[in-house]
Amino acid sequence: MRIFKFAIIATLAPQLMGFSISSQKRQAIEKSEEIYLQLFQNDQIIDHVISSEANKSRMSLQERTRIWDTWSSKSGLNYAELGEEGQDIPEWIVGVVKNPCSEILEDTKEQYRVAELFVLDREGVPVCTANLLTQYDQRDQKSYREIAVEHKEYYIQPFTRSPHTGKRQVEVSYPLHDDDGSLIGVLVVGVKPSVR
């Protein structure tokens, strides 16, 4: 069992105890923390992120971004139909959204009823996702930068509208480390405000 996954509890606890955050935001943070702890008791997630690095397409990041962005902007694409015969979708894209890691994320997203859930590699691109992301290269997103560039233990973005889902949510991101403690990726959890 990885030790790093429990460090977040001690880090977030003071913020959760304070009166400076709304109860909706507090609930979103608590839910995202629970998801984080659950997912990373499952070694398949970390193993998938590590193996995706070795299996990365030979195309440049710029070319992969262009293809992803073109593909994701097509109207009428159905997530459930990805990989079916007759679909003109590059195999490497299907590999990002249809793999055991993505299946775990899909189940977790459904179980916790969150808006979005995806994992980026250390390059800032998705390796598994429970959502169709409209943007492949996530390096300019705060949810990635605050973890991968600023080396924060977590990042909580205020309520905002997701560019991927169009829904209002609190986005919380966490670092993913291998057993040696090296950063290998970022988990991003988008939690919708609870409706009373």
pLDDT tens-digit map of 22-59: 777 788 888 889 998 888 777 888 888 888 876 676 78
- Mean pLDDT of all residues in the chain? 79
Give me the domains of the chain, ranges plus CATH numbers.
4-191 (3.30.450.20)
Long-range pairs of 48-52 with CB within 8 A, sequence gap ≥ 24? 48/99, 48/100, 48/101, 48/119, 48/127, 48/128, 49/101, 49/119, 49/121, 49/127, 49/128, 49/176, 49/184, 49/185, 50/178, 50/184, 52/121, 52/127, 52/128
Token code pair at residue 65: 């971004």
The predicted pLDDT at position 159 comes to 76
The predicted model gives 126-137 an average pLDDT of 87
The predicted model gives 93-114 an average pLDDT of 90
The predicted pLDDT at position 165 comes to 65
pLDDT digits (tens, 9 = 90+) for 59-96: 888 998 888 888 777 644 555 556 555 467 788 888 88
Short-list 56, 193, 39, 194, CA closest to 123: 56
CA–CA–CA angle 4, 10, 13 (5° rounding): 140
Distance CA 100, CA 8 (A): 25
